[in-house]
């Protein structure tokens, strides 16, 4: 049976934790789907991004081709990730169902009339096995035209010849402004917040029901680290580590918000599942470019049949002194 060999990684696209085979890519979210397999044991969410980093075509493409991977620029225009985390497995005679874990917050899902969008969308996919369900319009990531940052093993799905995938997704991160809109730009762009930003980060462990978990890189704990950009005025604050230009004095605040998730099998709320450890968020210097950012990191256990998930929000705000 064809497998999922790791693809050769260019150093400029490696995840900062250095986890085996882990790539970091970002882009505008252009599609969100869920596929329940009819013959294969899977219930896979997919996030598709359109890359706008010229280095993907100019650096990653030639690197892959130099290492024997037959790709062209069209292959490097759009990437997708694949992920299976389940709350419930049902195995009645002559059929099999996998009901989705709570991806409502990680993928910003909604469904009119539903209090549990990820679960209810998962039931739709399960009742239409073998047919990809396009739930793009159910995701605010897509509706906002927002940017998502993805980390996970960079693999080739050999069953389809050459098919580049981030599979499974180790972690997703995206930034939101004060109105809750998913931000499309990057630091320095017009839509980048000047003083306050909220990052939502989710870490995952892929369900061991999926055949990719037979690969060696999945039979171990996996750590994913992020260095996330700060509000624009962080660079103007002499109070902030690493920045000493003239300008108004601003003081950084950092709030961490655990996100509760709903377990559809047991009908209970929970904070995390399958997590070995999660570090306290901190301001730290990114060794890749020497700039101060928000550092967050978590390690997921070797996953069981349900898989693992944890979601956090990090609110960073730069404020003037109280008596200013």
Kindly report, residue by residue over 13-39, the tens digit of the pLDDT: 999 999 999 999 999 999 999 999 887
Long-range contacts, stretch 97-100, CB < 8 angstroms, 24+ apart: 97/36, 97/126, 98/36, 98/41, 98/42, 98/43, 98/122, 98/126, 98/207, 98/209, 99/43, 99/123, 99/126, 99/264, 99/265, 100/34, 100/43, 100/45, 100/125, 100/264
Is the Cα dihedral 208, 213, 217, 222 positive or negative?
Answer: negative
Q: In whole angstroms, what is the distance from residue 250 CA to residue 247 CA?
A: 9
Mean pLDDT of 218-226: 97
pTM of the prediction? Answer: 0.95
Question: How open is the CA angle 234-239-240, to the nearest 5 degrees?
Answer: 45
- Locate the domains of the chain by residue range: 11-319
pLDDT the model gives residue 105:
98
List, for residues 277-320, the tens digit of each pLDDT value.
Answer: 999 999 999 999 998 999 999 999 999 999 999 999 999 998 87
List, for residues 258-271, the tens digit of each pLDDT value.
Answer: 999 999 999 999 99
List, for residues 43-99, the tens digit of each pLDDT value.
Answer: 999 999 999 999 999 999 999 999 999 998 888 999 999 999 999 998 877 678 899
pLDDT exceeds cutoff 80 at 181:
yes
List, for residues 193-207, the tens digit of each pLDDT value.
Answer: 999 999 999 999 999
Query: Which residue, 92, 93, 147, 88, is CA-closest to 123?
Result: 88
pLDDT exceeds cutoff 90 at 242:
no
pLDDT the model gives residue 306:
96
Mean pLDDT of 127-141: 96
């Amino acid at each position: 049976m064809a497998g999922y060999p790791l693809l050769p990684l260019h150093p400029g696209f490696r995840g900062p934790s250095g986890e085996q085979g882990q790539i970091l890519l970002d882009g505008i979210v252009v599609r969100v789907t869920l596929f329940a397999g009819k013959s294969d044991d899977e219930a896979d969410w997919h996030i598709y991004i359109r890359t706008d980093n010229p280095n993907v075509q100019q650096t990653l493409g030639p690197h892959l081709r130099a290492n024997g991977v037959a790709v062209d620029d069209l292959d490097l225009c759009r990437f997708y990730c694949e992920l299976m985390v389940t709350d419930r497995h049902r195995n009645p005679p002559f059929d099999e169902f996998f009901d989705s874990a709570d991806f409502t917050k990680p993928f910003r899902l909604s469904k009119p009339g539903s209090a549990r969008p990820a679960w209810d969308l998962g039931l739709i996919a399960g009742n239409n096995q073998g047919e990809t369900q396009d739930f793009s319009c159910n995701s605010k990531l897509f509706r906002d035209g927002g940017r998502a940052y993805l980390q996970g093993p960079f693999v080739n799905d050999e069953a389809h010849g050459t098919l580049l995938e981030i599979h499974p997704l180790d972690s997703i991160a995206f930034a939101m402004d004060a109105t809750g809109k998913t931000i499309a730009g990057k630091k320095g762009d017009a839509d980048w917040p000047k003083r306050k930003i909220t990052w939502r980060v989710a870490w995952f462990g892929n369900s061991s029901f999926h055949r990719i978990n037979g690969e060696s890189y999945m039979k171990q704990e996996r750590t994913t680290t992020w260095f996330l950009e700060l509000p624009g005025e962080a660079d103007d604050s002499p109070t902030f580590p690493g920045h000493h230009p003239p300008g108004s004095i601003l003081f950084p605040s950092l709030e961490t918000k655990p996100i509760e998730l709903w377990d559809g099998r047991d009908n209970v709320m929970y904070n995390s599942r399958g997590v070995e450890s999660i570090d306290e968020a901190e301001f730290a210097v990114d060794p890749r470019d020497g700039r101060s950012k928000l550092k967050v990191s978590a390690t997921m256990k070797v996953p069981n049949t349900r898989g693992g998930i944890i979601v956090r929000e990090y609110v960073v705000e730069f404020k003037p002194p109280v008596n200013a």
